[in-house]
Chain A
Amino acid sequence: MYSRPTMSVIVPTSLRDALDVLAHAPATTVLAGGTDLMVELNSGHRQATAVVAVNRVPELRSWHHDPATGTLFIGAGITYAEIAEAPIAQWVPALAQAARTVGSPQIRNAATIGGNLGTCSPAGDGLPVLSALDAVVHLQSHTTSRAVPFGEFMVGPKRTVRVPGELITGVTVPVLSGWQGYSKVGVRNAMVIAVASAALVADPASGSVRLALGSVGPVILRCPEAEALAADAADFDTATISAAAERDFTELARQAARPIDDHRSTAAYRRHAVGVLAGRLLRRAFPNE
């Protein structure tokens, strides 16, 4: 057996208490749904001496839709099962699609969007959608509070700008009127970590098309060139885009990928797959040729 250090477990029932714990012991390990951390604890790959379980903090378990600003705040403790259902699914359908591809019902009942952000794996299913939506991540400590655009929040594989003492409290996303979707490739429908994934958001109000790629780089990758091409080529009123533009978009997405070979796939397959996903999503957003 591996050695087991003494561990303390605290289960705060308010945000203030949770932040107090982190203020006194900034290195405390934050436990959300447990679907990442418990795997590592069970295997002995990670040891923790102090854990704060935040799944019963009411402030993190709430969401708030603000029609005036057209935004939705999703508390860090909202589960993927909750995101996959109305009303959240109606406001951010791409995030709901991504949520439904996470693990299994058991995993979705536990796993939270805050946990997905905290782990920040390039394969995290929610992350390409948050990237394409230009989501803002909220971080709070005992004395500070900041809002960080997703593109600045994730700085490497499983690396974020969160500092010890800070807690991810939630994420704000825009509620948009255009088509949006998420797609991923894996070895089966359920219980699969993405080999490649993509999220596309078409926003008629700003005339923009946004594309974010997952599992094909050290961070979630946005594709400015593909986005500019699609915004130029697409007719939002008639949901039309040419086959040539779809091909070019696919190629630009392929080129934007920075994939690696690992135990789940090869770099070459990932590059191919993510291009196919991007092209498909574009065609779903603009079905007419």
Chain B
Amino acid sequence: MSDELSDQLGSNQQYALHVNGQRMEVRDAWLGESLLYVLRERLGLMGSKGACEQGECGSCSVLVDGQLLCSCLVLAASAVGQPIVTIEGIAPVGAPNDLQQAFVDAGAVQCGFCTPGLIMAAHALLEATDEPGEFEIREQLSGNICRCTGYGRIIEAVQRVAVARRSEAT
């Protein structure tokens, strides 16, 4: 196996993750911790939310190596060397990107708990396709639960961004 991996996962319970373009040391951690736990409790990145811790709710969604995943189902120590993008890496704090702004404008943010996960899921969709149809959006967001049940406006927000990005591109 590669030296980087074997070095970092030795018996010293210390490893580094690459989060939002930065190398972050994880010290004195139990190696059984989920990526969600490490992001929030070890690295202070509170944007990813923890609710079900069994992959059902999507509120902890992040990108690992470009793939949209539930961070609660990723063993943090196994993500060594892979680029991780969290909601904090989508846009600078205080300067929302177009997708985040569209959620605000469309009234898609109610209690806000599910919003980071939904932004990550919608972000992954819009990176992969320019013209998502409503069905595609619904399927992409099917792993993200909004307890306030504001799905209509969430879907509208994603559609608005897709349309705006297309018109900018032309």
A residues contacting B by CB (< 8 A) are 4, 6-14, 17, 31, 33-35, 38-39, 41-43, 48, 51, 53, 55, 81, 103-107, 109-110, 189-191
Contact = CB atoms under 8 A, between A and B. Distances in A.
Which 6 A-B pairs rank lowest in CB-CB distance, beginning with the nearest?
Answer: A104-B143, A190-B142, A53-B78, A9-B77, A38-B73, A39-B54
Contact of A191 (B78, B140, B142): B142
A14 B73 CA distance: 23
Interface in B46-72: 53-56, 58, 61, 67-70, 72
A247 to B, nearest CB: 34
Given A11-B5, A42-B34, A42-B54, A105 B74 contact: no
Nearest to A81: B67
Given A17-B1, A43-B53, 16 more contacts: A7-B31, A9-B75, A9-B78, A10-B1, A11-B1, A13-B2, A34-B73, A38-B55, A38-B73, A48-B32, A51-B31, A105-B139, A105-B142, A106-B70, A107-B55, A107-B143
Contacts, number: 109
A7 B69 CA distance: 23
A110 B55 CA distance: 11
Contacts of B139: 105, 190
B9 interface: yes
Contacts of B13: 6
Contact of A105 (B2, B32, B56, B68): B68
B80 interface: yes
Contacts of A17: 1
Given A14-B1, A190-B143, A191-B143, A105 B121 contact: yes
A109 B55 CA distance: 12
